[in-house]
Amino acid sequence: MRLPAYPRLLLALCGLLISFFTRAQSTGIIRGTVRDAQSTALPGASVRLANTSFGTAAAADGSFRLENLPAGTYAVEATFIGYQLARRSVTLTEGSTQVIELTLAPDAGTNRQLGEVIVSASRRAEPIRETPVSATILNAREVQLQAAATPNNLAAVVGNAVPGLGLTTNQTGNVGQTLRGRNVLVLIDGIPQSTPLRAGGRDIRTLDATVIERVEVIKGATAIFGNGADGGLINYITKRPVARQKFGGQTVLGVNGNLTHTGNTLGYRATQQLYGKPGRFDYVVSCTFDQSGVYQDAKGEVISPRYGLGETKTYNGFGKLGYDLNDKNRLELMYNFFSSRQNSDYLTQVGKYGVSPAIGVKGERPGVDEGTRHNHNAYLTYRGQEVLPLRTGVELTAYWQDFRTIYDAEPTFFEGGGQSEINSDKKGLRLNLNTPLLTGEQFSAEATYGLDLLGDQTTQNLVDGRLWTPRMSMRNLAPYAQLRATLLEHFVLKGGARVENIRVEVPDYTTLRTQSGATYTGGVAVKGGALKYNTAVFNAGLRYARFKWLNPFVSYSEGFSLYELGRTLRTARANTLSLLETEPIVVRNYEAGLSSELGPLTLGGVYFVSKSDLGANLVDQGNGILVPQRAPERVWGYELTADLQVQQNLSLGGSWSWVEGRATLTNKVNGQDVTQGVWLNGNRIGAPKATGYLRYQPWEPLSLALNYVYSGTRTRFNPNAAGNYASGEGPVRSFGLLNLTSSYRFGEQLGLTLGIENLLNNAYYAPLAQFTGTAANYTRGNGARFNLSVAYSY
């Protein structure tokens, strides 16, 4: 029932008076921070006064505040998943304020993954074990271990380590590297990197691993960060300064190349980082340059340079500045620049699909250098803890992203040839509020809510100025709210909604003429206009977190996407925008899972199903041009994980993930609607994947790590009468790769790291090379490659 305006206003005024009165009667305050042994803040840690009803949760910077406390002596307790309880005795006199710091030691019997904190699932820091979603967290150590073997390929770092995420393509792009069979939204500190209006497949590799503090992967459809997360999201969280250190830094120099067939493969890499926290001011600054040599496969053949990572110069500049106005208010500014462009002395020589690979041969490539010219990211954030009535915290962020990438020259695809590029410019504003509603041991609740504003201008044209995809100008206003409640101390219930209000303006345009052999298409004049979308999406989840040995959850979530609108526009055959198929994709995701800690053994499993009334599976329309298939889709699968702490210095584990998907097509046969189920192709569905790892530290200075990844078989499609496969339908055969990382420390400041990719020098074809079904893309992966680096810290 909705109250009239005047009673609602009266109730609000009464609430403010009560709040003012209770604050006026306050007799004492206990405040402070919760950190781990490395002085890293533990947001979401529970802080309580033993044997009382007073309690709170630590904020994003680890700070907490308990008010309205009577005079007396209290035992302040802090707990956090994966850490031992910390307790401090505090004596509070009337009207006084006591400031303390609680340091939590790690619980040796608790799995690291379950002790991680995530912010990407609900825009609020919380332990992964208490969140009813499926998530994988890669901390800084895990990122460094993976990147030591593949320093120039962030897509390999996450692809090799995250269950449910497709394997790397071994190229600059990430076509086919989907999450649970659907498209993934990539973010840097919450700034969208993906270009769902015209997906360019360059979003996973958009910064260098040296500036990453952790990677948060949220699986299953989600709308918490807006458009494009059909299968989930990947959020790269950038580095923060080292606490309590006024000035520090690290210099890293490295060389890399092939272990066999070494000719012209040598490359080099340099990183310089500075960081510190003098007083209220803190900073992190990093610069990285990487020059790769020629990439060769296990047989000694030069790998085709088409979208390759060989002979590539990569630059990454990063800076983050922060200032603590006081213990409750903070300003933070971040900027990151990334550029990666190839300048190869080789041309592609096409082999035979399924028989011999495409390779590189000496020659001058046409067109301009392929690669990402620039990817600018910046944000300015204000964070305030309990600065509004009802102890409401505020986070206000303004952000900007400017992205430009250029693709390889296509001498025969466009009329007269050409080379395309995607340009995307995003500006956004996010208001995030958090209000505790109830506090107590048996029942507690908090609300996270706010408003997102986003402007996105994306276009695809040829470098000579010809327009391929018209400039799409999107404006999105989206209010959202999330409620998190703890019931009977151990049941964690979450639910929320987000309302997308989107307007996309498209000018009048003419489709570009393309050719396939002697056949030409395009040249259609299309009347532009405005597309409007107003959709509400919902989520709900429940987790039972009482026992370590049984930690189950169930969840339902929805995601909203205008994925590949640009591809629909550029292949238009109707002359009016309103006649095109531009309906959005709304994905409904259902899943159930659990984790279990049995002493040193941790097990996890999840089963999921996602459905959508419309999809965007890219299919070959017969002339080499891929178009979205707008048909109902169902994707399903499961993921299993296991981790074992054998000894304090020895751990091992692995994962298995499997996903499958089908679309339902409806065709007219003799005037009747006939439905047919068809498998989704390799652009969407990856082969089964297994991962394994072993970490061993035989003595203090030396660390060893082995990482194994296995890609299984998927053969769902048949060739045509000529023996050829449609794009995306080629059979994928199995292969396995083993990577090694070893490091040795010479005291506190000097360290040496050796990483080896494809240790056994296997000759293999990445999934992309296999499922595309074309000779031009049938390229082998890297042979055995080493990366040797020395780091000096100060």
**pLDDT, tens digit (0-9, with 9 covering 90-100), for 238-263:** 998 776 678 999 999 999 999 998 88
User: What are the CA-CA distances from residue 510 to residues 418, 462, 481, 574, 607 (Å)?
Assistant: 17, 14, 42, 11, 46
pLDDT at 625: 64
Name the pLDDT band for 762 (thresholds 50, 70, 90): very high
- Domain holding 56, by residue range, is 25-104
Residues contacting 600, CB < 8 A, separation 6+: 109, 644, 645, 646
Which tens digit of pLDDT belongs to each residue from 630-657? 889 999 999 999 999 999 899 999 999 9
The answer to whether 212 and 237 have CB atoms below 8 angstroms apart is yes
- pLDDT above 80: residue 563: no
User: What are the CA-CA distances from residue 402 to residues 10, 31, 195, 470, 764 (Å)?
Assistant: 48, 41, 11, 18, 36
Among positive and negative, which fits the CA dihedral 292, 294, 300, 305? positive
Please check whether residues 156 and 283 belong to one and the same domain.
Answer: yes
CA torsion 361→364→368→374, rounded to 10°? 50
Q: What is the pTM of this model?
A: 0.88
Please check whether residues 100 and 129 belong to one and the same domain.
Answer: no
Please check whether residues 172 and 308 belong to one and the same domain.
Answer: yes
Please check whether residues 642 and 731 belong to one and the same domain.
Answer: yes
The values of phi and psi at residue 173, to 5°, are -100, 175
Q: How far apart are CA 309 and CA 151, in angstroms?
A: 11
In sequence order, what E strands does 580-688 have? 585-598, 601-612, 617-620, 626-629, 633-647, 650-669, 672-679
Query: Does 34 map to a domain?
Result: yes
Query: Does 14 map to a domain?
Result: no
Q: Which of 104, 135, 168 is the last residue of a domain?
A: 104
- Other beta carbons within 10 Å of 597: 20
Q: How far apart are CA 40 and CA 37, in angstroms?
A: 7
Please check whether residues 145 and 68 belong to one and the same domain.
Answer: no
Please check whether residues 68 and 178 belong to one and the same domain.
Answer: no
- Other beta carbons within 10 Å of 744: 13
State mean pLDDT over 748-775.
Answer: 95
Residues contacting 166, CB < 8 A, separation 6+: 159, 174, 176, 177, 178, 179, 686, 689, 767
**Bridge-based pairing state of the strands 184-188 and 232-238:** parallel
Query: Does 769 map to a domain?
Result: yes
Query: Does 2 map to a domain?
Result: no
Which tens digit of pLDDT belongs to each residue from 703-740? 999 999 999 999 999 999 889 998 899 999 999 999 99
- pLDDT above 70: residue 20: no
pLDDT at 622: 61
Query: Which of 635, 700, 699 is CA-nearest to residue 221?
Result: 635
Q: How far apart are CA 60 and CA 34, in angstroms?
A: 10
Query: Does 611 map to a domain?
Result: yes
Please check whether residues 234 and 204 belong to one and the same domain.
Answer: yes
Q: Which of 71, 104, 137 is the last residue of a domain?
A: 104
Q: How far apart are CA 571 and CA 576, in angstroms?
A: 13
- The count of structural domains within the chain is 2
Contacts of residues 741-746 at CB distance under 8 Å and 24 or more positions apart, as own/partner, are: 741/145, 741/146, 741/148, 741/149, 741/703, 741/704, 741/705, 741/706, 741/707, 742/702, 742/703, 742/704, 742/705, 743/148, 743/702, 743/703, 744/701, 744/702, 744/703, 745/700, 745/701, 746/701
Query: Which of 254, 324, 262, 321 is CA-nearest to residue 289?
Result: 254
The answer to whether 299 and 258 have CB atoms below 8 angstroms apart is no
Which tens digit of pLDDT belongs to each residue from 191-213? 999 998 998 899 999 999 999 99
Please check whether residues 125 and 94 belong to one and the same domain.
Answer: no
Q: How far apart are CA 202 and CA 186, in angstroms?
A: 10
Which bin fits 154, alpha (ψ -120 to 50), beta or left (φ > 0)?
alpha
Which CATH number goes with the domain that contains 178? 2.40.170.20
pLDDT at 82: 56
Place of tokens 């958009």: 206
Which CATH number goes with the domain that contains 90? 2.60.40.10
Which bin fits 461, alpha (ψ -120 to 50), beta or left (φ > 0)?
beta
- pLDDT above 50: residue 11: no
